[in-house]
Amino acid sequence: MIFRVFAKEELENLYDILAVNHMVGAVSKGIGTSGPLFDFDFIYDFKDLRLDFSTTIHSLKRFLLPPVETLSTFEMQKETWQKHVDYNLSKPIVYFGLHTCDINALNKLDKVLWGSVYPDPFYAAKRKNMFIIGSNCMPQPFCFCKSMGTDTALHGFDMFLTDIGDSYFVEIESARAFDCISKLKNREPDVDDHNLFMQVTEAKTKQFSCHVDTTDLTKILDMEFQSEAWKGWGEKCLSCGTCANVCPTCYCYGVTENVDLDLQKAQKIKQLYSCNLIDFAQVSGGHNFRPESHSRIKYRYYHKHRGFVEAFEESLCVGCGRCGVSCLADITVPEVIASVRGKEGHNG
Ligand code: SF4
Ligand code: SF4
């Protein structure tokens, strides 16, 4: 990895160099009950871009896995169906200021949707079209990324910025990022910069107040499959699906095929779905394999913390805490995991 340092005044120049592309970053969305709200959106003016944001309400997912996406359209021409596929690609998109949880979430999604036996060409096309600038953050009271090993990002970005006071310490991972930085006034980091970088890392580590004990978690989940704890969480869960909506790594979906009444046109549509919704496991004929709320919430946790670990030796949860913040029933990952371990509470 190559390291560089540039003064904070150069950030706008970096933005200008990249602004020939579409730009996505965190913007202010007003004030909520617990403080300022932020979300990812298209940026048209450098002044709207925030690098001092706390966790965004939603993840980046809507840019890569839109809630509704047309996979293909069909038109009857000369008594034959003509298929048309549009990957909905535009100019490359620069994602400016992603935190480590969201970078790691993309790395995890890649394993299933890009690097698997059956890659998703719609996801892969958008993923290839990205330029990622990461930025360091300080943990919020609900962040448990450290427990999930996602408080740092080793790959999955073009460059990564860490605020070290008057300057940014830059980790450079790609040739195109190196080209951009070369156009700015920059220098090699010295010993003082290294020390400042390490101080920021240490301060971040000390600020974590939320933890999840992941020791032997896959085994414990196997042992506690029949635990009464799941029934308790099932009684609380409203089956609203909000947790999957805000989660950066939930990717379950359904596909419907609609044919116009005159049989001249048709569309194949993909729609993101949540495994907590009541009809998630309902099949033709009306049978529902998971009619009870507690079985649906349980399987959501088993996919994140057991099934994915078995397949890829890492959890599908990045510890961003968004699901807990958004849940109207106050269901949080640290509390669910603690209860399955036979413990209460999650802090400390
Ligand atoms: S957001 Fe909360 S209430 Fe809604 S489905 Fe998820 S766990 Fe259940
Ligand atoms: S399950 Fe919750 S904490 Fe884990 S990645 Fe998804 S939204 Fe974040």
Distance 325 CA to ligand 1 centre (A): 10
pLDDT in tens, 198-209: 999 999 999 999
Which is nearest to 221 in space by CA: 163, 322, 301, 332?
Answer: 301
Strands (E) across the chain are located at 2-7, 22-32, 35-42, 68-77, 80-84, 93-98, 130-135, 159-163, 167-172, 186-187, 253-259, 265-272
Ligand 2 pocket, 275 CB below 6 A?
Answer: no
Q: Is 317 in the pocket of ligand 2 (CB under 6 A)?
A: yes
Q: Which ligand is nearest to the CA of 318?
A: 2
Q: 250-282, pLDDT tens digit by residue?
A: 999 999 999 999 999 999 999 999 999 999 999
pLDDT at residue 45 greater than cutoff 70? yes
How far is 175 from 178, CA to CA, in rounded Å?
5
Burial of 47 (C-beta count, 10 Å sphere; 0-12/13-18/19+): exposed
pTM of the model: 0.94
> What digits encode the pLDDT tens for the residues 214-254?
999 999 999 999 999 999 999 999 999 999 999 999 999 99
User: Domain coordinates of the chain in residue numbers?
Assistant: 2-65+88-207, 217-258+273-340
DSSP for 306-318? IIHHHHHSS-S--
| Ligand number nearest to the C-alpha of 140 | 2
CA 318/CA 104 separation, integer angstroms: 7
Find the 306 Cα to ligand 1 centroid distance in Å: 19
Q: Residue 28 corresponds to which amino acid?
A: S
Choosing from 108, 245, 322 the residue with most ligand 2 atoms within 8 A of its CB, the one to mutate for a pocket test is: 322
Q: What is the pLDDT of residue 293?
A: 95
Q: At residue 336, what are phi and psi to the nearest 5 degrees?
A: -65, -50
What is the pLDDT, as a whole number, of residue 34?
82
Q: Coil, strand or helix: which one is 54?
A: coil
Which of 58, 235, 243, 299 has the most ligand 1 atoms within 8 A of CB, as the residue to mutate?
Answer: 243
- What tokens were used for 308? 């994915």
Give me the residues paired with residue 68 across strands.
Answer: 271
pLDDT at 348 over 60: no
pLDDT at 170: 98
* Whole-number pLDDT of residue 227: 94
**What is the rounded average pLDDT of the residues 148-155?**
96
Residue 196 sits at φ, ψ, to 5 deg, of -65, -40
Q: Does residue 14 line the site of ligand 2, with CB under 6 A? A: no
For residue 23, report the distance from its CA to the centre of ligand 1, in Å: 32
DSSP character for 178?
H
Average confidence (pLDDT) over 62-75: 95
Q: For residue 346, is pLDDT > 50?
A: no
Give the whole-number percent of the chain exceeding pLDDT 70.
99
Closest ligand to residue 323's CA = 2
Which residues, 6 or more positions from 344, have their beta carbon under 8 angstroms from its beta carbon?
335, 338
Ligand 2 centroid from CA 251, angstroms: 12
Atom number, ligand 2, closest to the C-alpha of residue 250: 6
- Ligand 2 contact, 249 CB (< 6 A): yes
Q: Is the CB of 319 under 6 A from ligand 2?
A: yes
Ligand 1 geometric centre to CA of 313 (Å)? 26
The ligand that comes nearest to the alpha carbon of residue 322 is 2
pLDDT at residue 41 in the model:
97
133, 122 Cβ separation under 8 angstroms: no
Evaluate whether 164 touches 201 at the Cβ level (below 8 Å).
no
- Please state the φ and ψ torsions of residue 74, each to the nearest 5 degrees: -130, 140
**Confidence check: pLDDT of 347 > 70:** no
What distance in angstroms lies between residue 332's CA and the mean position of ligand 1's atoms? 9
Gap from CA of 125 to ligand 2 centroid (Å): 25
Ligand 1 geometric centre to CA of 230 (Å):
13
Ligand 2 pocket check: which of 104, 302, 333, 335 to mutate, most ligand atoms within 8 Å of Cβ?
Answer: 333
